[in-house]
């Protein structure tokens, strides 16, 4: 029995509105809350007991106790079966909605079909059988189950779509009876009797080919005289035959048009023959099994003048026996016979699925077919046998690339007396071509008979298996033919050649050879374009003049390099933000390390976070940065292998990269990305598993206005908070006014030179290894697990500062496993600078409050202190509202609402109900100094490191050093409180 796909049932349940279906039946529905009510047609109903729930697309009758969805309504209202209801809704939901006379009750079984009958009641038997085949053919195209079966047999693509139309392939899904008049009616009974007579119905009343792929066989006049059915499911009851035919002796010849060739392939089964046909070997027909070689088939082969038959029976005991029997019969008639030899136990379809592409594998077996007669095999008399490619005898197509490859392989084999090829030999692709951006021009022939082929649109074809171009062929007399076609489509090539031969008045065979050479040349150019597109894109090296190099080196050798960088930022129009500018610049330099830093710039809207990121990126060479506004979830995985290596990946907003957050985390942690994906092999076109790899390391930089960020991403990054104080705003306003003056114009002209110097300086930096001789003496906060990553950021910050000063340090070498490694050493000055930066940046990242929220807390502390002093109150007695804060601070209501909610959640504030109205007042619980900048405790003082160095020199023993990571003297400040400066935090045991 043909099964209705679950997807089809679910689609009807979701897409067909049960409300519209009921209203179309003539039942008035009235709104009752979220539901609708009406009178049930299935019983005497005066209380409107029928309830429809549009939100769930369901109905229910409290009087009958029945209900369901649109399918259940159709079954109940029309009195039809489940399958019949499905067919009604698929055809037209209005057919299922038409009211049926109920005579005061529900319909038990409808006898009038709403679906139109696919056959004529007055047709003769031959016409009736043809109409049924046409209905099956229409059903196949709407049946995912049948199409999936063809795909499971390796029959896919344009070729099988062409075969469906050419051979009227169909599918019997048990829906034919739902469109015929009911058997209880006279017309229905008579029609079923006639269908039983021709073999479509059985005596039991079931369709003979139910659940089968249907393949009709025609006679010489084009009438259906035989039908083959193949069950598409394998989970049938034991004893159910998988192969079916019409009752009576076999008749007809499948693909009779193939007999116009001098050579024909004869298969054991129709599925095998269809496999050859879809692979491009159109000169194929089939028997009805090993013992199903009919006299009609042999007589048709003899009458058509076939000179050579390739027997492609299964390679099993029955197939060998049947092939020998057929060969004996044909050899007696003077027809040469060759055996297409498959591997043991395989048939054509199984072999084509196993060895792909089928055109190449089957073509090679054809050329290696074994002679089945006595004595020496007859030699081939001509090189290009005629091959029937269309039912209307269109000219044969140009050879496919796969078939050409098979021909070349067969030519290399030193096997004499091979049978004729199914396709012509492949032309060579050694034609000279004039290639430009717009077109490709190839010329064939001599000066008197030159043929010029022009091709446009090739760059658009970057997918294997597609070659759609605009093609024009012309001669010296001005005659031409032009068309747009897919050169891999045999029918399109054949039509083009036929029309071009008529337009130019030349031999079609000559144009066919030209087109083969054009096709192979285009394939070669296409392969080059695909490989060039997939190759890593290397940025062209930037050439510096001697003066530019000297200026860049002078910058890198400046004794106050970090101060010079801040000054250059100021000169380029970025005021304030000293620490942020230094950290962001150093993070950009860290792209040259194995584990670079990552930056998130966080601020309120319009505070200047994007300006800071753009300013930093302007100092970076163009070839070392990649900037996007947003990224999709898989975009990072398919970048070039080295496109991000030692580069900056800048994303305008963190929200634009939310879908790519997983890839960004991996890129930061692992230093590379790998993904396995399905793609086409560039050489064969087959689907294969391809691995894409994106190498790091990559420095990540992004901005955000969000208060709460993804914790997994946040603890991998340094968080920079833009200065939003009033004094910074005044500095920005002053700078904006200065830009309108002559001094501002002068600065803008000097900005280009400053940026060029910094870009050249960064180009001179090498990705050297950094060795920190003081690393084992450094200490860090260890009271929470996230410091495991913050500690690594701290060490990377030291390495980056040292790397930036590489032109001021001696470059040393070390031999590791026979390989020489260059490195520089970090100094105490580098550690001191990193300590200063880490106190502010890493201390802020360990704070439980975001920077903007802590700033609001500082404003609240100042506001409460002012109110308490003015009213001579204790701080605990001061209450304030959000409106008072808006008036006192100038902040917007939306921002204050978010920050106050965060402070209340973390118990910095206590919320009280207002005495009047529905508002709230706040009480400050925090008693610290919120304005005190956050510092990172636990870092060793560089003076202590100097003492260690002195002790080491005096003792000469590393065993006397204090153990790294030991606790610091005194308590550490908790989150949200000010901490002692790093000078006061010495590890235990430090002199």
Q: Are 275 and 153 in contact (CB under 8 A)?
A: yes
pLDDT: is 751 or 463 the higher one?
751
Q: Where are the beta strands (DSSP E) in 313-467?
A: 336-339, 370-371, 433-435, 439-444, 451-456
- Asked whether residue 897 carries a pLDDT value surpassing 80, the answer given is yes
CA 307 to chain centre: 51
pLDDT one-digit tens code per residue, 598-629: 888 887 777 778 888 899 999 999 988 888 88
Dihedral through CA 101, CA 102, CA 108, CA 111, nearest 10? -10
Burial of 18 (0-12, 13-18, 19+ CB in 10 A): buried
- Asked whether residue 860 carries a pLDDT value surpassing 80, the answer given is yes
Q: Tell me the CA distances in angstroms from 822 to 645, 767, 812, one per residue in order.
A: 20, 10, 6
Q: What is the mean pLDDT of the chain?
A: 79
Q: Are 599 and 720 in contact (CB under 8 A)?
A: yes
Q: For residue 774, which of 943, 936, 935, 956 has the smallest C-alpha distance?
A: 943
Count of CA atoms in the C-beta half-sphere (13 A) of 812: 11
Strands 336-339 and 308-312: parallel
Of 190-194, 658-662, 694-698, 947-951, give the lowest mean pLDDT range: 947-951
Greatest mean pLDDT range, 141-150, 654-663, 794-803: 794-803
CA 265/CA 366 separation, integer angstroms: 9
Of 408-417, 486-495, 851-860, give the lowest mean pLDDT range: 408-417
User: What is the pLDDT, as a whole number, of residue 469?
Assistant: 92
User: What is the pLDDT, as a whole number, of residue 56?
Assistant: 87
- Reported pTM: 0.46
CB atoms within 10 A of CB 828: 14
Count of CA atoms in the C-beta half-sphere (13 A) of 85: 21
- Asked whether residue 978 carries a pLDDT value surpassing 60, the answer given is no
User: What is the pLDDT, as a whole number, of residue 957?
Assistant: 38
Q: Are 216 and 227 in contact (CB under 8 A)?
A: yes
CA 351/CA 363 separation, integer angstroms: 12
> Collapsing DSSP states into helix, strand and coil, what is residue 236?
coil
Place of tokens 């409180």: 977
User: What is the pLDDT, as a whole number, of residue 703?
Assistant: 86
Greatest mean pLDDT range, 103-112, 928-937, 954-963: 928-937
Token pair, residue 554, equals 């002078």
Tell me which H or E stretch contains 692: strand 687-695
pLDDT: is 793 or 991 the higher one?
793
CA 856/CA 853 separation, integer angstroms: 5
Q: Are 420 and 262 in contact (CB under 8 A)?
A: yes
pLDDT one-digit tens code per residue, 321-378: 999 999 999 999 999 999 999 999 999 999 999 988 899 999 999 999 999 988 888 8
Greatest mean pLDDT range, 18-22, 450-454, 748-752, 877-881: 450-454
User: What is the pLDDT, as a whole number, of residue 845?
Assistant: 59
Residue 264, strand partner residues: 309
Sign of CA dihedral 904, 908, 914, 917: negative
Banded pLDDT at 153 (limits 50, 70, 90): very high
Q: Are 173 and 211 in contact (CB under 8 A)?
A: yes
- Asked whether residue 806 carries a pLDDT value surpassing 60, the answer given is yes
Phi-psi region of 576 (alpha: psi -120 to 50; beta: other; left: phi over 0): left
Q: Are 358 and 329 in contact (CB under 8 A)?
A: no
Q: Tell me the CA distances in angstroms from 110 to 44, 71, 797, one per residue in order.
A: 21, 15, 83
pLDDT one-digit tens code per residue, 251-291: 999 999 888 888 999 999 999 999 999 999 999 999 999 99
pLDDT: is 371 or 119 the higher one?
371
Q: For residue 306, which of 268, 256, 270 has the smallest C-alpha distance?
A: 256
CA 94/CA 108 separation, integer angstroms: 20
The reply to whether omega before 32 is within 30° of 0 (cis) is no
Q: Are 654 and 706 in contact (CB under 8 A)?
A: yes
pLDDT one-digit tens code per residue, 228-262: 999 998 888 888 888 999 998 999 999 998 888 88
User: What is the pLDDT, as a whole number, of residue 798?
Assistant: 93
Q: Tell me the CA distances in angstroms from 388 to 280, 363, 796, 854, one per residue in order.
A: 10, 16, 72, 83
CA 451/CA 482 separation, integer angstroms: 13
Burial of 334 (0-12, 13-18, 19+ CB in 10 A): exposed
Token pair, residue 250, equals 């076999």
């Amino acid at each position: 029995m043909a099964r209705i796909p679950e997807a089809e049932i679910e689609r009807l349940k979701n897409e067909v509105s049960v409300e519209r279906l009921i209203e179309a039946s003539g039942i008035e529905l009235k709104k009752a809350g979220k539901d609708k009510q009406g009178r049930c047609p299935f019983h005497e109903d005066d209380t409107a007991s029928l309830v429809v729930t549009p939100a769930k697309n369901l109905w229910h009758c409290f009087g009958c106790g029945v209900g369901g969805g649109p399918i259940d309504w159709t079954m109940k209202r029309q009195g039809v079966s489940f399958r019949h209801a499905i067919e009604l809704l698929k055809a037209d939901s209005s057919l299922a909605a038409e009211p049926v006379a109920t005579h005061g009750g529900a319909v038990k079984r409808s006898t009038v079909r709403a679906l139109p009958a696919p056959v004529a009641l007055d047709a003769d038997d031959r016409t009736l059988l043809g109409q049924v085949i046409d209905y099956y053919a229409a059903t196949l195209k709407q049946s995912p189950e049948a199409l999936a079966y063809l795909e499971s047999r390796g029959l896919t693509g344009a070729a099988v779509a062409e075969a469906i139309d050419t051979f009227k392939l169909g599918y019997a899904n048990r829906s034919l009876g739902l469109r015929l008049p009911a058997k209880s009616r006279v017309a229905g009974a008579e029609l079923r009797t006639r269908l039983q007579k021709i073999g479509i119905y059985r005596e039991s009343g079931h369709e003979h080919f139910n659940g089968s792929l249907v393949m009709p066989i025609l006679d010489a006049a084009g009438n259906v005289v035989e039908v083959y059915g193949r069950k598409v499911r394998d989970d049938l009851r034991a004893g159910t035959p998988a192969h079916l035919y019409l009752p009576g002796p076999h008749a007809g010849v499948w693909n009779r048009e193939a007999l116009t060739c001098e050579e024909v392939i004869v298969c054991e089964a129709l599925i095998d023959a269809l496999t050859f046909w879809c692979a491009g070997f159109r000169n194929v027909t089939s028997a009805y099994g090993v013992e199903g070689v009919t006299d009609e088939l042999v007589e048709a082969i003899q009458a058509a003048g076939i000179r050579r038959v390739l027997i492609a029976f299964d390679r099993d005991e029955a197939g060998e026996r049947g092939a020998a029997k057929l060969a004996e019969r044909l050899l007696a008639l003077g027809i040469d016979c060759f055996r297409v030899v498959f591997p043991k136990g395989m048939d054509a379809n199984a072999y084509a699925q196993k060895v792909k592409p089928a055109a190449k594998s089957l073509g090679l077996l054809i050329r290696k077919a074994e002679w089945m007669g006595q004595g020496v095999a007859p030699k081939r008399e001509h090189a290009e046998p005629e091959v029937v490619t269309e039912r209307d005898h269109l000219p044969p197509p140009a050879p496919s690339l796969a078939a050409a490859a098979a021909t070349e392989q067969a030519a290399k084999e030193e096997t004499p007396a091979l049978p004729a090829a199914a396709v012509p030999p492949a032309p060579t692709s050694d034609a000279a071509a004039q290639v430009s951006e717009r077109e490709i021009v190839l010329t064939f022939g001599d000066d008197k008979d030159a043929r010029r082929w022009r091709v446009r649109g090739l760059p658009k074809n970057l997918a294997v298996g597609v070659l759609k171009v605009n093609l024009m062929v012309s001669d010296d007399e001005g005659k031409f033919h032009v068309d747009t076609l897919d050169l891999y489509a045999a029918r399109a090539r054949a039509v083009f050649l036929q029309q071009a031969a008529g337009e130019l008045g030349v031999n079609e065979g000559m144009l066919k050879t030209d087109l083969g050479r054009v096709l192979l040349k285009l394939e070669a150019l296409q392969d080059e374009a695909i490989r060039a597109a997939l190759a890593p894109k290397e940025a062209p090296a930037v050439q510096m003049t001697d003066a530019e190099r000297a200026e860049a080196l002078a910058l890198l050798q400046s004794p106050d390099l970090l101060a010079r960088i801040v000054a250059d930022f100021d000169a380029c129009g970025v005021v304030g933000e000293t620490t942020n500018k230094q950290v962001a610049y150093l993070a950009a330099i860290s792209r040259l390390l194995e584990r670079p830093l990552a930056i998130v710039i966080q601020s309120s809207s319009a505070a200047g976070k994007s300006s800071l990121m753009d300013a930093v990126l302007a100092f970076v060479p163009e070839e070392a940065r990649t900037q996007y506004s947003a990224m999709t979830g898989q975009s990072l995985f398919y970048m070039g292998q080295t496109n991000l290596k030692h580069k900056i990946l800048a994303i305008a907003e963190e929200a634009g990269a939310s879908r790519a957050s997983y890839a960004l985390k991996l890129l930061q942690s692992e230093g590379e990305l790998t993904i396995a994906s399905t793609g086409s092999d560039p050489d064969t076109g087959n689907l294969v598993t391809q691995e894409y790899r994106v190498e790091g390391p990559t420095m990540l930089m992004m901005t955000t206005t969000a208060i709460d960020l993804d914790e997994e991403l946040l603890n991998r990054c340094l968080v920079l908070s833009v200065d939003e104080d009033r004094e910074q705003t005044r500095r920005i306003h002053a700078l904006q006014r200065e830009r309108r003056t002559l001094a501002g114009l002068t600065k803008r002209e000097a900005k280009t030179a400053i940026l060029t110097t910094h870009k050249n300086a960064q180009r001179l930096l090498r990705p050297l290894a950094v060795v920190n001789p003081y690393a084992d003496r450094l200490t860090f906060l260890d009271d929470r697990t996230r410091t495991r990553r913050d500690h690594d950021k701290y060490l990377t910050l030291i390495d980056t500062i040292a790397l930036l000063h590489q032109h001021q340090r001696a470059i040393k070498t070390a031999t590791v496993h026979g390989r020489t490694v260059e490195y520089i050493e970090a100094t105490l000055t580098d550690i001191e600078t990193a300590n200063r930066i880490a106190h502010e940046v890493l201390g802020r990242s360990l704070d439980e409050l975001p920077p903007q929220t802590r700033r609001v807390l500082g404003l609240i502390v100042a506001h409460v202190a002012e109110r308490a002093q003015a009213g001579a109150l204790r701080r605990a007695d001061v209450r304030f509202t959000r409106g008072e804060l808006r008036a006192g601070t100038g902040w917007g209501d939306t921002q204050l609402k978010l920050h106050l909610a965060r402070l209340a959640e973390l118990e910095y504030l206590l919320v009280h109900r207002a005495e009047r109205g529905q508002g709230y007042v706040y009480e400050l619980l925090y008693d610290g100094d919120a304005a005190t900048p956050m510092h990172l405790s636990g870092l060793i003082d560089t003076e202590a490191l100097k003492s260690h160095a002195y002790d080491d020199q005096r003792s000469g023993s590393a065993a006397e050093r204090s153990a790294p990571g030991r606790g610091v003297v005194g308590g550490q400040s908790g989150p949200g409180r000010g901490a002692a400066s790093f000078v006061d935090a010495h590890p235990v045991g430090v002199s």
